[in-house]
Structure 1
């Protein structure tokens, strides 16, 4: 078998994914083995880049179906509009997480008792509008 191929165990180790996740992604058409090395699946090294895209998209909240659509997207198939909508959604999530991060940093040094009642804490996470 071609020495450039990586067996499923090596791909799992290098990608940080369990072999079962690799088999699942294969069953969903997200990745494709290049062949077999004995009874073990073997992949081209480029699969690691694809798995990086999959992991990033999944961590951003993409469903398996959305990842599959993204990986096969072609210009003019409506994917650009869906990707723009997903990017807008991610912007909202980032803003929310930024507010949460800022409120947690404030809470770590705040003397208010309880911290969650602190006006600065609550404003930081967006629950209470700032007073002018």
Structure 2
């Protein structure tokens, strides 16, 4: 399953066409400006500077921000995201991605098992699901125990 992050971006600005202020950029992504400043301080972003040193974000920065947000959704730490951005050796980037892929796959499997347990509870006709043999069996299987008799 492939998910696409779509942004409807109109990068117009009176100061410099093709660039946006930190406030405009933060609003576009539903972030607080301090988040973009933090990402800059840890080496994830390098916005250009306009008059008086004000940060300006162009289309390449918007793409980077979208990648950072997706990576964070996948559970990748900011340090690892930065390492992937600056990695000169594709092997380093691949190793980081493989490690995070394995972790994400494990979390997805755990979430799927939890969803199945909830679906079982919702479909249960017992007044108290904890007394339902099918529910007890699913819980026991989840934690590696024999179901109660």
TM-score by length of 1: 0.81
Q: Which has the larger radius of gyration?
A: 2
Answer with 60-69 or 37-46: which moved more: 37-46
Aligned to 1:48: 62
Whether 1:12 and 2:33 are equivalent positions in the alignment is no
Shift of 1:110: 1.7
Aligned-partner Cα distance in 2 for 1:37–1:67:
30
Residue in 2 that maps onto 1:108:
122
Backbone CA RMSD of aligned residues: 2.6
Provide the rounded CA distance (Å) in 2 between the counterparts of 1:88 and 1:13: 33
**Do the aligned residues in 1 keep the contact of 2:71 with 2:81 (CA within 8 Å)?**
yes
Q: Would you tell me which structure has more strand in proportion to its own residues?
A: 1
Aligned position for 1:28: 42
Distance 2:84 2:134 in 1: 40
- TM-superposed CA distance for 1:119, in Å, is 4.6
Aligned residues: 131
Per mean C-alpha deviation after superposition, the further-off stretch among 63-72 and 17-26 is: 63-72
Q: Secondary structure at the match of 1:6?
A: coil
Unpaired segments ≥5 residues, structure 1: none
Q: Which deviates further from its counterpart, 56-65 or 72-81?
A: 72-81
Q: Which has the higher contact order (CA 8 A, sep 6+)?
A: 1
> Aligned residue for 1:127?
143
The Cα of 1:79 is off from its aligned counterpart by 2.8
The separation in 2 between residues aligned to 1:48 and 1:28, in whole angstroms, is: 17
